[in-house]
């Protein structure tokens, strides 16, 4: 009579595999979560920089065309943020998921006075204009 222990060996292999899989999941899930958060922060930063570049192009166009010109920019934002406008650049400080801040800056030569525009979550309309007879350009949402 030959005893067959292959059932016990298969059970041991399955048990070892399950324990190894659980250990692998326990150590990799926090790393996956961190990398997903970092990727989302990069994506949000690039989207905000792209939106600020659209505004900068409108500012440059109005500045180049002179008095009486106007540009309207439609921006869809997934997060509310504030764009600070200076005469030489636009900038924004955003809060990342790792509780740090990122400073995003886009060059934009104009005669705008220092101001800030708040963009809310969702659809935003930004108007850049240089009124006829006005010394400075205006930007508004």
pLDDT for the residue numbered 7: 60
Q: Are 126 and 55 in contact (CB under 8 A)?
A: yes
The two structure tokens encoding residue 87: 């005469």
How confident is the model over 100-120, as a mean pLDDT? 86
DSSP state of 136: S
Rounded percentage of the chain residues whose pLDDT exceeds 90: 9
CA distances in angstroms from 66 to 108, 129, 141, listed in the order given:
15, 9, 21
> Would the pLDDT of 2 be above 70?
no
């Amino acid at each position: 009579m030959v005893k067959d222990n292959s059932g016990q060996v298969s059970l041991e292999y399955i048990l070892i595999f399950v324990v190894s899989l659980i250990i692998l999941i326990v150590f990799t899930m926090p790393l996956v979560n961190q990398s997903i958060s970092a990727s989302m922060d990069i994506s949000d930063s690039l989207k905000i920089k792209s939106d600020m570049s659209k505004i900068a192009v409108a500012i440059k166009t109005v500045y180049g065309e002179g008095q009486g010109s106007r540009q309207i920019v439609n921006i869809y934002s997934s997060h509310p943020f504030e764009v600070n406008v200076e005469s030489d650049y636009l900038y924004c400080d955003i809060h990342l998921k790792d509780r740090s801040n990122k400073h995003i800056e886009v060059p934009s030569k104009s005669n705008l006075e220092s101001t800030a525009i708040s963009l809310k979550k969702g659809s935003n309309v930004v108007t850049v204009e240089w009124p006829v007879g006005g010394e400075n350009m205006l930007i508004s949402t």
